[in-house]
Amino acid sequence: MEKYIINGGNKLYGSVKIQSAKNSVLPILAATVLADEKVEILNVPQISDVKNMVKILACLGCRTVYDGDSIVIDSSSADCYEIPSALARELRSSVFLLGAVISRFHSAKIAYPGGCDIGLRPVDLHLTGLKRLGVQISEKNGYIICKCDKLRGNEIMLDCPSVGATENIMLAAVKAEGTTIIKNAAREPEIEDLQNFLNKIGAKITGAGSGTIRIDGVKKLYGCEYLPIPDRIEAGTFLIGAAMCGGEVVADGIYPENISSLIHKLTENGCKININNDKIVLENHKILTSVKSVETRPYPGFPTDLQAQYTALCCICNGHSIITENLFETRFKYVPELRKMGADVTVIDRNAFVRGVEKFKGATVVAYDLRGGAALVLAALAGEGNSEVIDISHIDRGYGSFEYKLRKLGADIVRVTV
Ligand code: UD1
């Protein structure tokens, strides 16, 4: 097991290069199963979720080669439709493979997916969508088993705009016979990125980014080189960190409009923010002012993936805040850990009631999930004294070179194996 040892109190100065979005790269890697030729994905983040997805592709018989920050995938040799249970349980996004694998082999078998323990995270919408395309689904001994003679386009209305279900249906529909329309589709930028990737290899998809997506089935998909969009959550995490620690940080290589909900909040908190094309510069030298309330919502609302980091920020604002988590029911697991660091937070149902304190103080805390773990790191960096953040494997799922990037900005953080 590994942990971070952090000596808090340093201000952050400098520029941080943002990685490609984890939540784009994972479905795009799943989509490569559908390509009939070699695909190269550029600027891939060095994170364990991606490594696990690449391992699953290799188990399916795809040839995968890392070339620096790129991965080349040749799926022409794929010959297996069973996703190994140990890997599927490590990685929730393995469920995206269902749509791609069923399209490729007309059969798929996968163990119920894992990932962060942030609530129930059902897959009913994924399965209902696949059934509408003609897939027969059964469940046995913790496995989802899918079969079909032929995939046929259909109209699918999602009960809620699930990111994963939208992506899975897109993947199953791309080579289906006829037209598929997804209504109440998720509008996250990563969905549009998946559309752009699929269209680059020959798909016919329109509407991603809006609530209605149209997929006209095609027979063949080709190869390409593709650069996924920047990671708005990684960028948001560094900006929140800069606001909490003070200093001046440039998030470099991002699409600022993709995190405008956060930028608005940070401006209300009193940070000075300048946007210059693909760079956001955040400067803060003062005690932050609290915002009254923040609610997580599907895009373009405030992202649930920044909720924990932003709650940590609210803890050291001057005043009270209420943070409401509308997407995942147990996404406040990090709160008792923040309390060990001196935060004054009470969670009732889906709301965290925060009274700002002057500073976090050093403590030993446990990272129970990816974004909650990142929030603890930011609290430790902004606090006074020494902290240890234990079990950082969750953080490694989503942040590549996290401590290197933080150290470059002036943070005192080291990784230790215990
Ligand atoms: C994706 C992101 C995750 C992010 C989340 C919400 C990836 C790899 N992960 O997760 O980082 O936190 O979007 O922005 O892209 N739901 C159902 N039934 C389903 C599917 C979802 O009820 O079949 C519900 C969920 O319980 C949740 C809501 O829909 O309340 C949103 O979940 P969803 O958008 O599917 O999240 P993920 O795709 O799992």
pLDDT (tens digit, 9 = 90+) per residue, 110-124? Answer: 987 655 555 556 889
Nearest to 282 by CA among 303, 316, 307, 259: 259
Q: Separation of 194 CA from ligand 1 center, angstroms? A: 16
List the domains of the chain with CATH numbers: 2-16+231-417 (3.65.10.10), 24-226 (3.65.10.10)
Map residue 156 onto helix, strand or coil. Answer: strand
pLDDT tens for each residue of 314-365: 999 999 999 999 999 889 999 999 999 999 999 999 999 999 999 999 999 9
- Please enumerate in sequence order all residues whose Cβ is within 8 A of that of 99, keeping only pairs 6 or more positions apart, or say none: 30, 126, 130, 167, 168, 169, 170, 171, 172, 173
Distance CA 306, CA 257 (A): 15
Half-sphere exposure of 121 (CA within 13 A, CB side): 17
Nearest to 225 by CA among 42, 46, 76: 42
As a whole number, mean pLDDT of residues 364-390 equals 97
For residues 281-296, one letter each, b for 16 or more C-beta atoms within 10 angstroms of the residue's C-beta and e for the rest, the string is: bbbbeeebebbeebbb
Q: Whose CA is nearest to atom 7 of ligand 1?
A: 23
As a whole number, mean pLDDT of residues 98-103 equals 95
Residue 117's pLDDT is what?
A: 58
pLDDT tens for each residue of 208-232: 999 999 999 999 999 999 999 999 9
Q: Separation of 31 CA from ligand 1 center, angstroms? A: 18
Q: How many residues does the chain have?
A: 418
Distance CA 233, CA 248 (A): 19
pLDDT tens for each residue of 233-261: 999 999 999 999 999 999 999 999 999 99
Q: Is 255 exposed, middle or buried, given 0-12, 13-18 or 19+ CB atoms closer than 10 A?
A: middle
% of the chain at pLDDT higher than 90: 90
- Which atom belonging to ligand 1 lies closest to the Cα atom of 123? 23
Peptide bond into 300 cis (omega under 30): yes
Q: Separation of 121 CA from ligand 1 center, angstroms? A: 7
- Which atom belonging to ligand 1 lies closest to the Cα atom of 121? 26
pLDDT tens for each residue of 147-164: 999 999 999 999 999 999
Residue 330's pLDDT is what?
A: 83
Ligand 1 binding site (Cβ under 6 Å of any ligand atom): 23, 26, 92-93, 120-126, 160, 162-165, 186, 304-305, 327-328
- Please enumerate in sequence order all residues whose Cβ is within 8 A of that of 12, keeping only pairs 6 or more positions apart, or say none: 241, 242, 245, 246, 247, 248, 249, 381, 406, 409, 410, 411
pTM value is 0.96
Q: Whose CA is nearest to atom 33 of ligand 1?
A: 162
Alpha carbon 222 to its chain's center = 27
Residue 48's pLDDT is what?
A: 94
Which mutation among 49, 160, 299 tests ligand 1's pocket best, with the greatest number of atoms within 8 A of CB? 160
Least confident of 131-145, 232-246, 297-311: 131-145
Concerning whether 80 is annotated as a catalytic residue, the answer is no
Which of these is catalytic: 62, 80, 116, 148? 116
Q: Separation of 311 CA from ligand 1 center, angstroms? A: 20
- Please enumerate in sequence order all residues whose Cβ is within 8 A of that of 122, keeping only pairs 6 or more positions apart, or say none: none
Half-sphere exposure of 85 (CA within 13 A, CB side): 8
Distance CA 75, CA 237 (A): 34
Distance CA 80, CA 83 (A): 8
% of the chain at pLDDT higher than 70: 98
